[in-house]
Structure 1
Amino acid sequence: MFWLLLLLLAWAFAGTAGVRLCLAALRDAATDRDSAAVGDARELTLYEAAFLSGGPRRVADVTLVSMARQRRLLLAHTGWATVVDPHGRDDMERSVIGAIGPDGQSRIAPVRTRAARADAVRRLADRLVRSGLAVSDAAAGRTVGAAVRQVRVAALAVAVLAVAALLLPVQADTSRLMVGLWFLLPFTLSLSCLAVARFEVHPYSPWASPAGQRLLGALPRQRGGADRSLLTSVALRGIRAVGEPELRAAFAHRDAPPHRR
């Protein structure tokens, strides 16, 4: 009857994850009611949209692409960034120029990392948290997105425990089919929680609060020129939204840096 202990463990995984998801959804609903007026009072800037969609690294990407489109920064397909205009127009651009360094040239990968950790990005994050649009670091582990990830892990754990139970010897009066059916119950619970989360509280983000997600949903409907549309797509979906092959290659380059000419 050792399989019963495994079944209890499976129920513990599934039940704990399901309860955590419900509590996270309730907290998000309460937060959404408290900050309902935020979504009607303002529009997101590109930097704010980038942070809420993809975090600090997405902000750095939007800044790099914006400067490259304005020909103030050269992003080579070999993975190097070269400063053309050393005068940044805002704190984010100055952070990127500072991340490239005094030589005016650097590999793009470390520039993205250093720019994402800059003070300007931290100040942006603090402003979004204070306005109720972003999730604070202290609450990041209690969001719906984190709870959904725990439910996925619980579903996997239940499946592993079920396989382990089926491999154990069972008593003569217990069939393996019955053992499998018992484990099917907590597995179904986990899948049901994922399905409900998908249709009721999706999209969920590790960065944006419910109010921030609502503003992100309205962002694609805002009008703008071609460059604005491209930068909005990058803010929402990342570098994969860039259609220019050379620019995408610049961000995708992971090989050893080539020799400078």
Structure 2
Amino acid sequence: MYLAVILSSLVLVIGTVRSRRAPRIRLVDAPTHEVWEIAFLAGGPGRVTDAAIAGMQEDGRLAVGGPGAVTVRRAVAHHPVEQAVLDALGRTPGGALSRLRGMVMRSPAVQEIGDRLADRGLMRRPRRGRGWRRMAHVQVAASAVLLLGGLLMTITGTAGDDAFTVPFVLRIAPAAILGIVVGSLCKLAHRGRLTPAGTLALRAAHAANSPGVVGGAVRPAAIVVALGGAALVADAVLRQQLLDAQSAMTTAADVSAASGDTTTTSSGDSGWDFSDGGSDVSWCGSADGGSGCGSSGCGGSSGCGGGSSCSSGSSCSSGSSCGSSCGSSSSD
């Protein structure tokens, strides 16, 4: 039993470390100044979608009102992501924001941003290390079952403890705990999406777009959302509707996961949106599948505005910037 757990843990650790190894890139590939790439690095497909909606609402091309209804005022797009928003609206009866958000997240225009960032070595593709994540899940579950089984056998007296001075459950507990700890750590290691180069790029984007750098000028809503998430949107109505849409998508994803149906929340092994429903929190790593600096540097309901520190609800500690505090834990 001990031998099996130790061997499994060694294989899991080695595989996890190898799958997390970042590709070598040229430093010139790291910086990014496009708002859509910044948004993707900071919060994934959901953040890109929120940034597009916020920008289009700010200049009057969209109107967002309660209860989560989006309407087109001027059908003008300046980027494929914005065109994806307009196209999705045409296929969304009533303009339901949560449904619109999911469609845009899965659109080729948004997915291709992740592919470009991965090609440049700034992000890790979702399928990378997926097998090791599953192995980690299996090891944690098997070790927990082992520990529970040993406890039941000890209680019922079926473990043959008469010949031993130490109860059966205590004899197997170190092996089970080792399996749980190693498996859990390997699962955590796969949460991040950003590579070290991606973390540096995001940190540079925060520095370049901080209020002090832009001279105190009002920053466009798209870049505010890209860097800090929907929680920093100035328009109270839009802010609440975007946060409500995130919450609704996360709830729907949880229900689908509980029922074993992930078809409505996942776009496949190669897709950049995940079964978390696209909430910023998940990208950050405090839920699932996210990276440290992913979701606002942390969390759709927290805030990391241009170079500011991550706030409540995030896995990032206060007093450090998104790029620096989250980056160390990012990568998947």
Give the Cα separation in 2 of the matches to 1:43 and 1:63. Answer: 17
Matched, 1:183 2:176: yes
What is aligned with 2:19? 24
> Which of these two proteins has the greater Rg computed from alpha carbons?
1
For 1:18, the aligned partner's letter is: V
Check the 8 A contact 1:152/1:190 in 2, yes or no: yes
1:64 is paired with a residue of what secondary structure? helix
Residues 76-101 of structure 1 deviation map (CA, whole Å, 9 limit, x = unaligned): 13110011221112222122112111
| Aligned pairs for 1:1-261 within 5 A | 4=1, 7=2, 10-11=5-6, 13-25=8-20, 27-28=21-22, 31=23, 34-38=24-28, 42-101=31-90, 106-136=95-125, 140-142=127-129, 151=136, 154-168=139-153, 169-171=158-160, 172-174=162-164, 175-176=166-167, 177-190=170-183, 197=189, 204-205=192-193, 208-223=194-209, 224=214, 225-228=217-220, 231-236=222-227, 238-242=229-233, 244-251=235-242, 252-253=244-245, 254=248
Check the 8 A contact 1:13/1:157 in 2, yes or no: no
Once the two structures are TM-superposed, the CA of residue 35 in structure 1 deviates from its matched residue by 0.8
Give the Cα separation in 1 of the matches to 2:122 and 2:132. Answer: 19
Check the 8 A contact 1:38/1:211 in 2, yes or no: no
Give the Cα separation in 1 of the matches to 2:141 and 2:203. Answer: 31
Check the 8 A contact 1:59/1:235 in 2, yes or no: yes
Structure 2: tracts of 5 or more residues without a match: 250-332
Once the two structures are TM-superposed, the CA of residue 15 in structure 1 deviates from its matched residue by 3.3
Check the 8 A contact 2:19/2:128 in 1, yes or no: no
TM-score, with normalisation over the residues of structure 2?
A: 0.58
CA gap of 1:95–1:185, structure 2 versus 1, over 3 A, is closer
Structure 1: tracts of 5 or more residues without a match: 256-261
RMSD, aligned CA: 3.5
Give the Cα separation in 2 of the matches to 1:20 and 1:102. Answer: 43
Count of residues in correspondence between the two structures: 232
2:71 is paired with a residue of what secondary structure? strand
For 1:141, the aligned partner's letter is: R
For 2:203, the aligned partner's letter is: G
For 2:225, the aligned partner's letter is: V
Give the Cα separation in 2 of the matches to 1:134 and 1:188. Answer: 27
Say which structure, 1 or 2, has more relative contact order (CA 8 Å, 6+ apart): 1
TM-score, with normalisation over the residues of structure 1?
A: 0.71
Higher helix share: 1
Check the 8 A contact 2:231/2:239 in 1, yes or no: yes
1:81 is paired with a residue of what secondary structure? strand
Give the Cα separation in 2 of the matches to 1:113 and 1:193. Answer: 29
1:74 is paired with a residue of what secondary structure? strand
